[in-house]
Structure 1
Amino acid sequence: MIDLEVLEGNLKNNKLDNCYIFAGLDEMLIKESVENIINTVIDETFKDLNVIKLDGVSTTFEDIMNACETLPFMSDKKVVIIYRANFLREKTDSLGAKLYSQCTEYIKNTPSHCILVLYYLLNDKRENLMKNKKIMSLDKSCTLIKADKLRGEKLYRKVNSIFERKGKRIGKVELKFFCDSVENNFDIIEREIEKIISYTQGRDITRGDISLMLPNKEEDDVFDLVDYISQKRPEKAVDLINELLNKGENMMLILSLIESQFLMLYKIKVGISEGKTKEDFVRELRRPAFVCEKLIGQSKKFSYKQLQQCMKLCIETEKRLKSTGFHKKTEMELMLIDTVRV
């Protein structure tokens, strides 16, 4: 298994393999690396004729095999990309298991004229790729690439290049503050940069601008926590709440944010039933469009009754936490387990 930096070095030295599998959290970083592979082997003039993209959710083995077996046009190589290849996940349905089994055999004998690229996104930052036996079993058949988040100077340089590409300069201190404050996901980073540039037209970016425009990181953690509840994964929810508490986060604040999240999801469900759109929620909630889109998706995972019960559990837990006779950390864990059972 290699990382993105090693892949970049291999491509510069024209060291290519017949099959690559990417896995990571940041789809934009993965797409950039896939584009680098394409640019290394295919002339710009013939890209449209020699690059085939297949949706991993709906594709069949026959689609994949036909795409790979067809000879390239006016080129030595062609590239077949299977994006969102969720059949590579550790747990899939029967169709996904069958497609994985078929692809496993085919990957070992990928035609020499074809570079097959597959990628899927990890569920969350706590998912351990090394524990995915399906992925690791392919390590000898193809090149596995762990698309890790950029850190430190690499992150600063990459983010600064986006500001420059958009025609805006940002000071070194402000750049570091922005990188330390924003979620480490380049799809989100790009959107937040656009917001800040629009807000600061004609003047320099300040730390105050960044603080004002960026969403609260605690809210992101609470979104993940509620998502675990919707997925019926109490162990993940408990791990996250303990991680937050161990970092010194205020317990009552976290509980308040969880309750507010359930209330917001309830209001969104009511709004959807009344015919409201994403744009309506952007205005009402004063959140970016992509955040509202995520909230709408999350609201659909709960029924009205479930959300009412979850809010009730939050209120009851708050009462107990204000009493000195209860172990507060245990109360939070029990509340999360109860919300999953609702």
Structure 2
Amino acid sequence: MALEYKNDSDAAAAFEKFKKEVKNGKPARMYIICGKESYLKAYWLIELRKTLLDGVFDEFNHRRLDGEQLDIRKLEEAVESLPSFAPFTLVEVRDYDLFKCIDEDASRLIALISDLPEWCCLVFYYESMDFKTDKRRKKLYAALEAAGPVIRIDEQGRGQLIRWIQRRFEAYGHDISDSNADYLSFLCGGLMTNLLSEIEKISSYSSTKSITREGIDAVAVPVLDAAVFSLTDSLAAHNYPKAVSVLSELFLMKRDNPSQILAAVAAQFRRLYAAKIAKRLNRDTAFLKKVVSSNSDYYARKLLSSCISMGEAYLASAIRLCAETDLQLKSTTVGSEDLIITLLVKLALRE
């Protein structure tokens, strides 16, 4: 069983297998649940609890341990405790950095997960930190790999996400087209946790049954990447007042870490450059989605249309300017916002 996945399709296959195991009431003895999609992680943890616990004796059969202060001996006790009036126990360990435990704990952990009792399901659940491996700890790595799969739940595929958005709007008495759902996932990001609050706002605002693009734009808050897209589009259209306005909003959005704006701008110009090359080579949106690691057709189409008014030389120059600004940001005492404003001016002056 894999601790790391070479591509998204392998991770998706492991997730689908996990869902079937939970639905069929035949879970594995151990899971490592991690990834960026908090909504789905929480949902499927609850489903796993429903499968394993009866709701009556949960106090005895459901044990939760804090990974930050984990005592391996208490974990051993929890795992080895027999279930009370039920066939299974569930042991959840939250945010435990498995590969940073001391050698003594690692040895005990290896022994424990190598011989888990048939009545216990052990879950390492990652909520406020990500699960990271370390192949230098060969014995621990091998034991974890043999004990149970990693269920990495990240942003879902376009089709799944669009259907989920449509179901959420239906719950509020609205409908939304595929194209507008795709646009919403571009504007607000593809993670369901954030989309939930945006869908609620848009539903409350909308006076019509069908959700419109105008209704989305009226109340939805763009994520960083969508706002940066607006910035580069404004530069391409020589709409510099709009570019300045967007940058001001970005500074408010990322007031604690403006360097994230620079990173997003640099990434956007790299994606636009990739789109420009793809267009020259007559490649389609499916190809570009793979190159820029996006599930959104809307996003790929927008990249292809936005790059039309930008030359390859301009995009290459923009990428270099972003790299130079990043170096300045890391090596001088000049404020981040001042450097980014200077970058904007340079980008506006270069055709």
Q: Which residue of 2 aligns with 1:328?
A: 321
Q: Does 2:193 match 1:187?
A: yes
Cα distance change, pair 218–228 in 1 and its aligned pair in 2 (3 A):
closer
- The Cα of 1:198 is off from its aligned counterpart by 2.4
CA–CA separation in structure 1 for the residues paired with 2:258 and 2:120: 39
Q: Does 2:34 match 1:11?
A: no
Q: Which residue of 2 aligns with 1:149?
A: 155
CA–CA separation in structure 1 for the residues paired with 2:16 and 2:332: 42
Q: Which runs of 5+ in 1 are unaligned?
A: 230-235, 250-323
- SS of the equivalent of 1:17 reads coil
* Candidates 330, 337, 340, aligned match of 1:337: 330
Worse-matched range after superposition: 12-21 or 44-53: 44-53
Identity level (%): 21
Q: Which residue of 2 aligns with 1:28?
A: 39
- The Cα of 1:166 is off from its aligned counterpart by 4.2
- The Cα of 1:12 is off from its aligned counterpart by 3.3
Q: Which residue of 2 aligns with 1:176?
A: 182
- The Cα of 1:23 is off from its aligned counterpart by 2.0
Cα distance change, pair 5–67 in 1 and its aligned pair in 2 (3 A):
same
1:188-214 CA-partner distances (Å, limit 9, x unpaired): 111212222222266542111212322
Equivalent residue runs for 1:57-68 within 5 Å: 57-68=68-79
Q: Which runs of 5+ in 2 are unaligned?
A: 3-10, 229-249, 274-316, 336-351
CA RMSD in angstroms comes to 3.8
- 8 Å CA contact 2:67–2:94 kept in 1: the answer is yes
Q: Does 2:76 match 1:83?
A: no
- The Cα of 1:82 is off from its aligned counterpart by 1.3
CA–CA separation in structure 2 for the residues paired with 1:212 and 1:47: 46
Q: Partner amino acid for 2:190?
A: N
CA–CA separation in structure 2 for the residues paired with 1:201 and 1:52: 47
CA–CA separation in structure 2 for the residues paired with 1:203 and 1:162: 13
- 8 Å CA contact 1:225–1:240 kept in 2: the answer is no
* Count of matched residue pairs: 252
- 8 Å CA contact 1:238–1:333 kept in 2: the answer is yes
- The Cα of 1:67 is off from its aligned counterpart by 2.1
- The Cα of 1:8 is off from its aligned counterpart by 1.1
TM-score relative to the length of structure 1: 0.61
- The Cα of 1:187 is off from its aligned counterpart by 1.5
Q: Which residue of 2 aligns with 1:37?
A: 48
Cα distance change, pair 49–190 in 1 and its aligned pair in 2 (3 A):
farther
- SS of the equivalent of 1:149 reads coil
Q: Partner amino acid for 1:243?
A: A
Q: Which residue of 1 aligns with 2:115?
A: 109
1:260-283 CA-partner distances (Å, limit 9, x unpaired): xxxxxxxxxxxxxxxxxxxxxxxx
Q: Which residue of 2 aligns with 1:243?
A: 267
CA–CA separation in structure 1 for the residues paired with 2:212 and 2:128: 34
Q: Which residue of 1 aligns with 2:64?
A: 53
- SS of the equivalent of 1:209 reads helix
CA–CA separation in structure 1 for the residues paired with 2:136 and 2:333: 28
CA–CA separation in structure 2 for the residues paired with 1:35 and 1:130: 25
CA–CA separation in structure 1 for the residues paired with 2:36 and 2:333: 25
